Structure 1
């Protein structure tokens, strides 16, 4: 897929659904350590750029790089691999989903 097609879709969709309610500082932090897709000659390859998908210890390391010694106020997680990340935060919320139950 062309990178320009992805960028075009992101500009059209993301502001409408996500960024209206997003604090600029939250976006700065999120974008500074977000997972990126590798590209070659203007097309995506499907590979993930280093440091890879931010899961487990990698996610905690990204938080430390971004915040340094400052402890974030809130950490949200939804699986066991988020524990290294959320334990670095002052307040922790683990979201539980029951996929066996449909409402």
Structure 2
């Protein structure tokens, strides 16, 4: 039960931080991809379940292959900021760059 409560708190935290005007623009887009420096595992459920998004480009957390639990370490290339964020967008969209 404790994990479920944490998930609800995360959902409320992220979804409460979205402005109505921003959501209206996001909702009108054909393909909805969120880009964030936050861990994908935290943001993806909010983007998919509450905002209707298609995908999240974010910081990836390492998972222990034996236990299937997060180690707390960040996968390469690291936290998705600056040039890494730009490269993630270029990899995802290629020559068909996003409008917004």
Larger C-alpha radius of gyration, 1 or 2?
1
Band of TM-score, shorter chain: 0.3 to 0.5
In the superposition, the TM-score normalised over structure 1's length comes to 0.45
